[in-house]
Structure formats: structure tokens, C-alpha cells
């Protein structure tokens, strides 16, 4: 699909966020065709450039930064410098979307809060992410995924006798989806009415939304509860690995399930139980997943490139994931890797990025 045919082609997004939830929300918009410009501090950039996941680095940035910031541009600006701040305000005046995840009060002190910038740009869609919401006793606390999983009660869902957190940044990724959803909804309203708007969400709210079924049951204890089945769905050991079973209807003697499954390998049980209409799947390691035909079938990888600093040297080529959605039957891919710090210049520098490099309009 050509760039001009993507749904958000022509939309300009300013990404002031760092590390995960905000940057991934901006990435989702970029994959849909938006032009995303990261605005970072000079010298160090955002924290995600140096906070390495599993200690992996590529071309002076962490691999996790590359995964979350591909398909973007980057400028640097010292928001404490009056000249830079004025240039940033001019960028905001021509943008369609602004995303940030500063603690409550930071953007207000800079004069870049929603009430202030809507006077510059009434059509701006303003997305603010936080850890625990803009109000309440924890409003000023920094957001962190492990803490959001814990305070939301999620850690008790998987643990049978002790709390267990998900070993991924679940709250951050879900929050990124909610932010992107809110932004696209307000862009639709903007296209219809010309009116911008404010979208707010938090790690805590993302975790509570994830548990909507569980919370609804707890909020309505008067509703009848059916008896528990003799055996429940779960993950079971086989002779050579593990098997996940989603439902046990139709399985004779489920109370003897543990002993039965240990008599043969996982592949055998996937075939045998599948023929009986019992939904099951092998439990795979990441290595087994990457080697599986199911992984190959969905084509979830792409190779991105970043030009070298010195002409003639080899570019960085990095394999990563693609957008998980398709538009009109087409997979969305982009070859642009994450930008170097200030790749498009300094907002206040003559002859570099400047305000002329930005282009508003779009939806």
C-alpha cells in the first residue's frame, strides 16, 4: 500500500513521550500513515534510548527503543530554553496530534498543557498518558508497569497460591492501544467538525479495563454463580513438554487428566484431543514459536534500515515486528528504522529542521 493511501496519511503527530506506552501509541499511528516527530531533550534523548531490554543494543540505541520508535522522525529541543520552547509552540500550532506521558503538572509548567495549546491550535488532538490518572492520591507518582499490575490486583489472577505478574509490559502496551484508539476517534470528530480534543488514560485504567469481567463479577456479588466444573482449563505437563487446554467438555475422566497427559508427547495430544473437539495448543518457548509454521504464516516480521553516520558504511538492518493489523487485506510494513537523536535537527537551529519542516493538516 502506498504511503498516501494509508488511513492517517497527512496527519502530523508530535511525540513528547518516552519509554513505552506513549511511544508505542505514536508508533501505531505512524504505521497507519501518520507523520510522527519525536521531540527529545538534547544530548541524551528520551530514556528509552539507553534503558536496554535484556541488555541488547544496536547502533548506539537499545533494541527496545528501535522496536518502539521505528517509522518516526526526531528533533531535539530544550523545553527549558525560551527560544526552543517558542519554536516547539510553533510546531504545536501546526500539528494534528500531541502525545505526552509527563507526570501531572509538567506540561502546565512549560505552558504546553491542553488548555494552553488549544488556544494555539483549536483542532489539536491532545493525548496525555499517566500512571494512575490526573487526580487522586497517586496522581503524582511515576507510572511503572510492574507497579500498575500489582496495585490493580492483576497479580492475583494467574497465581494459584501467590501473586504472579505478567513478564511483559502489559499495562504499557494496553495503554498504548487505548491512546491510539482515542486519538483516531478524535481525528474522526475533527474531520467532521474541525474540533480537536483531549484524550487521557493511565496504566491503572488499562489494567482495570483488562479485568472488566472479573471486576463486574465482584461488583455484583448478588448474581448467581454456577457450580465449578470438576476440572478446569489450564496448562498441563506431557511426556515431552506442556499442553494448554481451553475447555474439557467431552473429555472422559478429567480428574485423571494429569496422569493421562504424561503418557504421550504434546504433539500426540494436540492431534488426539483436537479430533475430539477439545481446544488445545502446545506451550512453546520463543525459539519454538519462531520456528513454527503458525508464526511463518502470519508474517509478523519486517526488516528496518537506518542510514549510517558515515557515507559508504553499511546501514543498520534490524529485524523487528510489524503492525498487527491489515488494511484492505494488506499487511502494513515500513522500512524506516528508529531515528537517531535529532536526526531532523534542533528546533531552534537556523537551516535545520525549524518550523518549516513541520506540516499540519490532514484529518
pLDDT digit string (tens) for 147-196? 999 999 999 887 768 899 999 999 999 999 999 999 999 999 999 999 99
In a domain, 330, yes or no: yes
What mean pLDDT is predicted for residues 29-36?
98
Counting the structural domains of the chain, the total is 2
172 flagged as catalytic: yes
The reply to whether 184 and 45 lie within a common domain is yes
The reply to whether 325 and 208 lie within a common domain is yes
Q: Tell me: pLDDT of 358 over 90.
A: no
The reply to whether 45 and 166 lie within a common domain is yes
The reply to whether 79 and 144 lie within a common domain is yes
Q: Tell me: pLDDT of 355 over 60.
A: no
Residue 362 pLDDT = 37
The reply to whether 187 and 317 lie within a common domain is yes
The reply to whether 258 and 176 lie within a common domain is no
pLDDT digit string (tens) for 276-289? 888 999 999 999 99
In a domain, 229, yes or no: no
Q: What angle do CA 71, 195, 171 make, to 5 degrees?
A: 45
Residue 217 pLDDT = 92
In a domain, 111, yes or no: yes
Bridge partner residues of 281 (DSSP) = 244
Residue 250 pLDDT = 56
pTM for this prediction: 0.91
In a domain, 258, yes or no: yes
Structural domain span for residue 259: 242-282
Which one has a higher pLDDT value, 36 or 247?
36
Active-site option among 15, 61, 84, 172: 172
Cβ burial of 329 (10 Å; 0-12, 13-18, 19+) is: exposed
Residue 252 pLDDT = 58
Q: How far apart are CA 297 and CA 299, in angstroms?
A: 6
Q: What angle do CA 46, 102, 114 make, to 5 degrees?
A: 125
Residue 146: closest CA among 169, 173, 177 = 169
pLDDT band at 95 (very low <50, low <70, confident <90, very high): very high
What mean pLDDT is predicted for residues 346-355?
62
Q: Is 6 helix (H, G, I), strand (E, B) or coil?
A: coil
Residue 257 pLDDT = 77
What mean pLDDT is predicted for residues 110-132?
97
How far from 168 is each of 11, 54, 132, CA to CA, in Å?
31, 12, 19
Amino acid at each position: 500500500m502506498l504511503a498516501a493511501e494509508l488511513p492517517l496519511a497527512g496527519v502530523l503527530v508530535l511525540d513528547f513521550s518516552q519509554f513505552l506506552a506513549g511511544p508505542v501509541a505514536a508508533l501505531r499511528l505512524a504505521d497507519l500513515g501518520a507523520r510522527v516527530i519525536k521531540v527529545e531533550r538534547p544530548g541524551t534523548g528520551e530514556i528509552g534510548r539507553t534503558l536496554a531490554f535484556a541488555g541488547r543494543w544496536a547502533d548506539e540505541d537499545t533494541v527496545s527503543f528501535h522496536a518502539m520508535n521505528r517509522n518516526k522522525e526526531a528533533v531535539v529541543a530544550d523545553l527549558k530554553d525560551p527560544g526552543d520552547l517558542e519554536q516547539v509552540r510553533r510546531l504545536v500550532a501546526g500539528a494534528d496530534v500531541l502525545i505526552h506521558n509527563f507526570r501531572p503538572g509538567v506540561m502546565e509548567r512549560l505552558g504546553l498543557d491542553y488548555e494552553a495549546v488549544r488556544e494555539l491550535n483549536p483542532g489539536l488532538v491532545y493525548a496525555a498518558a499517566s500512571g494512575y490518572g490526573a487526580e487522586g492520591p497517586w496522581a503524582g507518582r511515576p507510572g511503572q508497569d510492574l507497579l500498575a499490575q500489582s496495585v490493580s490486583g492483576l497479580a492475583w489472577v494467574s497465581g494459584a497460591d501467590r501473586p504472579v505478574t505478567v513478564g511483559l509490559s502489559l499495562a504499557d502496551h494496553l495503554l498504548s492501544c487505548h491512546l491510539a484508539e482515542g486519538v483516531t476517534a478524535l481525528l474522526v470528530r475533527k474531520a467532521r467538525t474541525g474540533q480537536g480534543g483531549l484524550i487521557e488514560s493511565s496504566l491503572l485504567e488499562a489494567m482495570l479495563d483488562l479485568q472488566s469481567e472479573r471486576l463486574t463479577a465482584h461488583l455484583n456479588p448478588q448474581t448467581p454463580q454456577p457450580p465449578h466444573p470438576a476440572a478446569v482449563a489450564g496448562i498441563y505437563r506431557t511426556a515431552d513438554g506442556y499442553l494448554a487446554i481451553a475447555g474439557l467438555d467431552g473429555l472422559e475422566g478429567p480428574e485423571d487428566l494429569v496422569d493421562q497427559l504424561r503418557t504421550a508427547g504434546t504433539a500426540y495430544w494436540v492431534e488426539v484431543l483436537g479430533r475430539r473437539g477439545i481446544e488445545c495448543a502446545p506451550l512453546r518457548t520463543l525459539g519454538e514459536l519462531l520456528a513454527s509454521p503458525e508464526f511463518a504464516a502470519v508474517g509478523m516480521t519486517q526488516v528496518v534500515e537506518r542510514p549510517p553516520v558515515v557515507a559508504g558504511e553499511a546501514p543498520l538492518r534490524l529485524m523487528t515486528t510489524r503492525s498487527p493489523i491489515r488494511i484492505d487485506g494488506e499487511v502494513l510494513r515500513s522500512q524506516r528504522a528508529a531515528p537517531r537523536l535529532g536526526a531532523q535537527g534542533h528546533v531552534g537551529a537556523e537551516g535545520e529542521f525549524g518550523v518549516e519542516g513541520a506540516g499540519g493538516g490532514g484529518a
